[in-house]
Amino acid sequence: MPVNNNMNDEVITRKHVRKIIYPIIIGLAVVVYLLQREVDVDLFAIITFTWYSVFWLAIAFLMMVIRDVGYIVRLKILSEGDFTLRQCFNIIMLWEFSSAITPSAIGGTGVAIFFVNREGLSIGRSTAIVMATSFLDELYFILMFPVLFFIVTGSRLFAIGVEQGEEIISFTNEFFYFAIIGYLVKFFFVLLVAYGLFINPRGLKWLLLWIFRLPFIRKWRYKMNETGTDLINTSRVFRTKSAGFWLKAFTATFFSWTARYWVVNFLLLAFFVVDEHILIFARQLVMWIMMLVSPTPGGSGFAEFVFSRYLGDFIPVGFAVVMALIWRLVSYYPYLFIGAIMLPRWLSGKFSRKRPAKIN
């Protein structure tokens, strides 16, 4: 989403904090519906909560901390040290909050430019950094999906059918199509951004303007012109960076997303015996690809549903929905509450005093 120098300071206001209620209601509504349909309360008698459980739950939370540390380190690298660790922490927490209250297909990228800009960087550089983070995130998915697909095999990643004694991918399973659509969207996004960032930004701007001449999307052509200009400025910032610079940024990205995917493994270990760790990890990656098509804020409802269905093979019958709720309590809801607490104070600090000079 383009941001220009005429950005209205009211883009984010205190009323946005109220939006945390929508994803919470959606997510909990789906959980309650699934609970009353699928959960046998008597089954909970076989679960024992021990210090062993506490240990693995703590490790699951630690994975989320590592995930955020990876994001903070990456932002520090991409800003070339112009941000302090505290500024990086503020931006990441607010960015996660904005992602949590917007549909997964949209994310918090546009608002993230605002956060970065308000912390002291110019609009052009803010756009460059946010675009680079999006590129690195999607690159992780693009590279890891085929690797895990061949390690785990496609028949185990998706709904398994049996034909003449052999496991096959079931093409009647909607999860397969969700994953393929999500992956193709990410794949073409990475190709376009890579082409625009490193090869021909002006050519990509021309292509965007040509596409947005179509009658039904012409009204957004001006926005695409701004996006193309931002892309050219972004390219100037990052085209000359060394391979070492990008390797460090991608390494931080790798650790961040990998830690996030291990969360479910450790949550399951807290209550059950788990053997298929790599398969569970792979299915989580596919889950996040599927969530790209979710229209709800932060994937609320859709995420809980997919979790209970797609990872239900590793959880005793009747517990999948409960584990989906615990997973979201660890990996999603904390950002809603952290952001709700931070945002008013951050806004007050940024709008009540003179803005710092922009770093080009």
Determine contact, residues 186/292, Cβ cutoff 8 Å.
yes
Q: Which uninterrupted H or E stretch holds 148?
A: helix 123-152
- pTM for this prediction: 0.79
Place of tokens 């009204």: 219
Give the CA distances from residue 83 to residues 90, 190, 221, 308, 345, in Å, rounded to whole numbers and listed in that order.
Answer: 10, 26, 34, 40, 19
Q: From 235, 340, 358, 353, select the one nearest 19 (Cα to Cα).
A: 340
Task: Please report the pLDDT score of residue 266 as a whole number.
Answer: 92
Helical packing angle, 333-351 and 320-331, nearest 10°: 20
Q: How does pLDDT run along the chain (360 residues), one tens digit per residue?
A: 444 434 434 444 444 545 556 666 665 565 565 555 545 555 555 566 788 889 999 999 999 999 999 999 999 999 988 899 999 999 999 888 887 777 655 556 667 888 888 888 877 788 788 888 988 998 999 999 889 888 887 777 775 444 444 555 555 566 777 788 888 888 988 888 888 878 888 887 787 788 777 776 677 677 777 777 777 877 777 888 888 999 999 999 999 999 998 998 998 888 887 888 888 898 888 888 777 666 655 556 677 677 777 777 787 766 777 787 788 888 888 887 788 788 778 877 776 555 554 555
Task: Please report the pLDDT score of residue 301 as a whole number.
Answer: 64
Task: Please report the pLDDT score of residue 297 as a whole number.
Answer: 58
Determine contact, residues 259/156, Cβ cutoff 8 Å.
no
C-alpha gyration radius of the chain? 21
